[in-house]
Amino acid sequence: MTDKLLPCPFCGGKAGYGRGGADFSRHGWNAGCVNGHAVSPDMETKAEAREWWNRRPKPRRSPSPQSREATPQSDALPSPQQREESR
Ligand SMILES: [Zn+2]
């Protein structure tokens, strides 16, 4: 096990840990995109925050557009700069 966070599914950027988050009534760990695209809810432990983040479905762009319906995600904020992965 590692405490590495997967890159942001929206921008491919780094993800990091935070504490407290938006909900200051609780002091938990959360994990989210450093560019603010998405953030996990507050979790009790860092590991939980990591699990939540790494488990979240990734909106992969598949070659065939009709192969999968876009997953409705409330936290799928429009990214200011959509970067295409060209690798
Ligand atoms: Zn991002």
d(CA 28, CA 49): 9
Going from the Cα of 44 to the center of ligand 1, the distance in angstroms, rounded, reads 23
Cut 0.85: pTM above it:
no
The two structure tokens encoding residue 19: 């504490």
What's the gap between Cα 60 and its chain centre?
Answer: 13
pLDDT tens for each residue of 44-79: 889 999 999 998 765 555 555 554 555 555 555 555
CB contact set of 52 (below 8 Å; sequence gap of 6+): 31, 40, 41, 43
d(CA 27, CA 67): 41
d(CA 37, CA 22): 14
Share of the chain above pLDDT 90, in %: 33
Going from the Cα of 23 to the center of ligand 1, the distance in angstroms, rounded, reads 20
Going from the Cα of 37 to the center of ligand 1, the distance in angstroms, rounded, reads 4
